[in-house]
Amino acid sequence: MTSTTTATRASAADTARLLPAVLLPIIAGGVIKRRPPLMGLVGLLGGDERAVREITRLRDRYGDAPLALRVPGREVAVVLSPADVGALLAGTPDPFTPASTDKVGALKHFQPHAVLITRDERVRAKRRAANEKALDTGRPLHHLAEPIHRVVTEEAAALSGSTLDWDRFDATWQRVVRRIVLGDAARDDVRLTELLDRLRRTANWAWLAPRRPRLLSEFTERLRAHVARADPDTVAAGLSHGVDTEVDPVGQVPHWLFAFDAAGMAIMRTLAVLATHPDAAARAETDTGEPARLPFLRACVLDTLRLWPTTPAILRETTTQIWGLPENTTVLVFAPYFHRAVSNRFEPDLWLDGRAQSQPALVPFSGGPGQCPGRNLVLYTTSTMLAAMRTHREYELVGDHGLRDRTHLPGTLDNFHLEFRATAR
């Protein structure tokens, strides 16, 4: 990769202002498994808004080039221009690997063979291909769209009670996820989800936490048994087994189960936005259309993920000297900075009229060869779930959550404390 980009270097004082603004809310909230009780603290720390202000200040001061920070014992740089975001992500996995030291430290606790933390390019390519095949990455509509639709509508119809809060929603959502990924036999295996959650809480501490081999092996054995008996109409059945031992097909599944959490957060946030944006809610009512189905609801989910990205910090690490940065430099794209520069309003039309596609830094699912291979599957399941939920009941948001000022939506939206009054239609 040839590049004319050259990084500039921030002063120690500017580094000292930026790092806590960006990192503290992310670390306090939980990088791998969110900590619901600490989400209030994230708000107090200024949430993403403070970090966006700090990055804006630095860009005004230093210009567009990537900014190398002065961190003792580490090389860290922040990307400041949309074009460089595009170039960075296009340069995956070489010269910019997604398997950064921090991600490896965290994710190895529960998914040591996941594609995302595979540094060896040859093995990474095989694991990426296995993921793309099972997740039908290239198709807007997964080949299992029909069985997925059946599962989602059944579970959504079973949601009862006059209120909906996170715990009630999440219990249903996790059932949906286990059924879609592993089959009906896994529907009530809450132990599997609990084990994964415990490993993920350990992963929040990354290299600082000791490995938990007994927990990991109990989780892996349970998962293996589900995958072995998975019906043909499950996502796990799309994994090819036994062909190539380097792939570890079952070892790809923990990432799927983990990442479907982000989809659940996006559903609850979209429900809240629709409850406070009647014009969008009315358009969603009339939403039907091939090939992707429910195009407007998909755009609503995408815009919720733009406003409140579930992966706010996209990390890469240089595999060689590039952009004037040494090998093994961690390069950070702080997505909210780029996403909010486009708009602070809810604007699903961005995703329908081609504007989003022309902006290299609108990256809720990352971009380039490391883009989320589950993107289309996520958009299909989340839009289907929202439509199914709203078919049976109306959801009225309890409280304000800052969503009623439609010209400037809040920097942080705590999905764990959203609550709705639900009435039958």
- Whichever of 293 and 339 has its CB closer to ligand HEM, that residue is 339
Residue range at the interface with ligand HEM (CB under 6 A); choices 20-28, 127-135, 276-284, 337-345: 127-135
Residue 167: partners with Cβ closer than 8 Å, 6 or more residues away = none
Q: How far is the CB of 156 from ligand HEM (least distance, A)?
A: 18
Contacting residue, 69, 107, 135, 182, with ligand HEM by CB under 6 A: 135
Q: Where are the alpha helices (DSSP H) in 253-399?
A: 253-276, 278-285, 295-307, 335-342, 375-392
Site string for ligand HEM, 351-390 (x = CB under 6 A): -------------xxx---x-xxx--xx------------
Minimum CB distance to ligand HEM, residue 312 (Å): 9
Please tell me whether residue 110 binds ligand HEM under the rule CB under 6 A. Answer: no
Rounded Cα gap, residues 196 and 145, in angstroms: 26
User: By CB under 6 A, what part of segment 188-227 binds ligand HEM?
Assistant: none
311: contact with ligand HEM by CB under 6 A = yes
Residue closer to ligand HEM, measured from CB, 62 or 296: 296
The stretch near ligand HEM (CB under 6 A) out of 80-88, 182-190, 259-267, 319-327 is: 259-267
Q: Is 234 in the site for ligand HEM (CB under 6 A)?
A: no
* Phi then psi dihedrals of residue 30, to 5 deg: 95, 115
Give CA–CA dist 247/115, Å, rounded. Answer: 9
Q: How many angstroms separate the CA atoms of 288 and 294, rounded?
A: 5
Looking at the Cβ atoms of 62 and 113, the one nearer to ligand HEM is 113
Residues near 103 by beta carbon (within 8 Å), at least 6 away in sequence: 116, 117, 315
Nearest in space to 134 (alpha carbons), one of 238, 276, 222: 238
Q: Are 268 and 237 in contact (CB under 8 A)?
A: no
The torsion angles phi and psi of 24, rounded to 5 degrees, stand at: -60, -50
Whole-angstrom distance, CA of residue 306 vs CA of residue 365: 9
Q: Which is nearer to ligand HEM, 16 or 125 (CB)?
A: 125
Applying CB under 6 A, the residues found at the interface with ligand HEM are: 98, 115-116, 128, 131, 135, 255-256, 259-260, 262-263, 266, 305, 310-311, 314-315, 364-366, 370, 372-374, 377-378
